[in-house]
A and B are shown apart, each in its own frame.
Chain A
Amino acid sequence: MRDLLLFTLIVVAGTGGELCVSRAMKAVGEAPGFRPAQVARVLLRAVRVPWMWAGVAMMATGFFALLGALSRYNVSFVVPVTALSYVAGAFGSAAFLHERVSAARWLGVTLVALGVTLVFLGHS
């Protein structure tokens, strides 16, 4: 029960956070390059976008859940299981965002779910 909660938090908060950050970065615009001043300017613009804060809050929640899971299981078990976020993402975008999820995407999601199942089966 507790493990289920941990993995659910990692997957749901992590995916939600990434989507928010992705949305924020689209609003910020292209980074000019890698130079520290350029990177700093992008970061300063990013922190003024509310989506960034929502994303960071969700990712922080996911982070502490990840720490909890890592205290109980191997890294090579925990991280692959978090790939379930792709499955959650497909169902979430179909159900809540009314996006059309293509057959190819369902195939990919099925492969991810299959892979996670194998990782579970290989969990000794």
Chain B
Amino acid sequence: MAQRLRRLQTSVAIAAMIVAGPLGNVLLGKGMRHLHPALWPPPALLATAQAVFVSPFIWLGIASLIAFFVAYMLALSWADYSYVQPASSLAYGVVALLSALLLGEQVTPLRWAGIAVICLGVFVVGRTGHKTTERTPLA
């Protein structure tokens, strides 16, 4: 029972990661688009920082990434990194979908194919055995 609840909680946390992470990236992309950041001289850096941090899209993106991060921490407390990582590989597909739908980006077929291969690769990486070295617990 407790085990089933854990698994359900882990699935919910991973689902939240798959939505919140890509959404955060898309919002950041929306906020940064058409901005020409300069880091030098200092007044230009100040202007860049100001432009970045008055954008509502940047703040929504940051909020979304914080939600992603909390879900990620919860998932990692319940499951191994090597389980969470392949499960979250779908996020690469979601990010392309959202950037096409919300930002109107032209995603070429070749890019879709690349993203599909990346998802597959991430999945294969995560399915491989973990813990090939002995480690001592943190004191």
Number of chain A residues close to chain B: CB under 8 A: 60
B4: interface (CB < 8 Å): no
Contact A71 B121 (CB under 8 A): no
Secondary structure dominating the interface of B: helix
A75 to B25, CA, bound (A): 7
Contact B76 A118 (CB under 8 A): no
Which of chain A's residues 79-123 have a Cβ closer than 8 Å to chain B? Answer: 79-80, 83, 86, 90, 97-102, 104-105, 107-123
Known interface pairs A83-B118, A99-B133; A68-B37 also in contact (CB < 8 Å): yes
Secondary structure dominating the interface of A: helix
Partner of A123 from the list B70, B81, B111, B125 (CB cut-off 8 Å) is B111
CB neighbours (8 Å) of B74 from chain A are 31, 34, 39, 42
Contact B138 A124 (CB under 8 A): no
A79 to B94, CA, bound (A): 11
Closest to A85 in B: B122
Mark interface residues in B2-16 (1 if CB within 8 Å of A CB, else 0).
000000010010000
Contact A90 B125 (CB under 8 A): yes
A113 to B114, CA, bound (A): 9
Partner of A115 from the list B70, B114, B126, B128 (CB cut-off 8 Å) is B114
A58: interface (CB < 8 Å): no
A124 to B109, CA, bound (A): 11
Contact A104 B127 (CB under 8 A): yes
A22 to B28, CA, bound (A): 24
A116 to B115, CA, bound (A): 7
Contact B125 A108 (CB under 8 A): yes
17 contacts between A and B (CB under 8 A): A26-B76, A29-B77, A31-B78, A70-B25, A75-B26, A75-B98, A76-B96, A108-B121, A111-B118, A111-B121, A111-B124, A115-B115, A115-B116, A118-B113, A121-B114, A122-B112, A124-B108
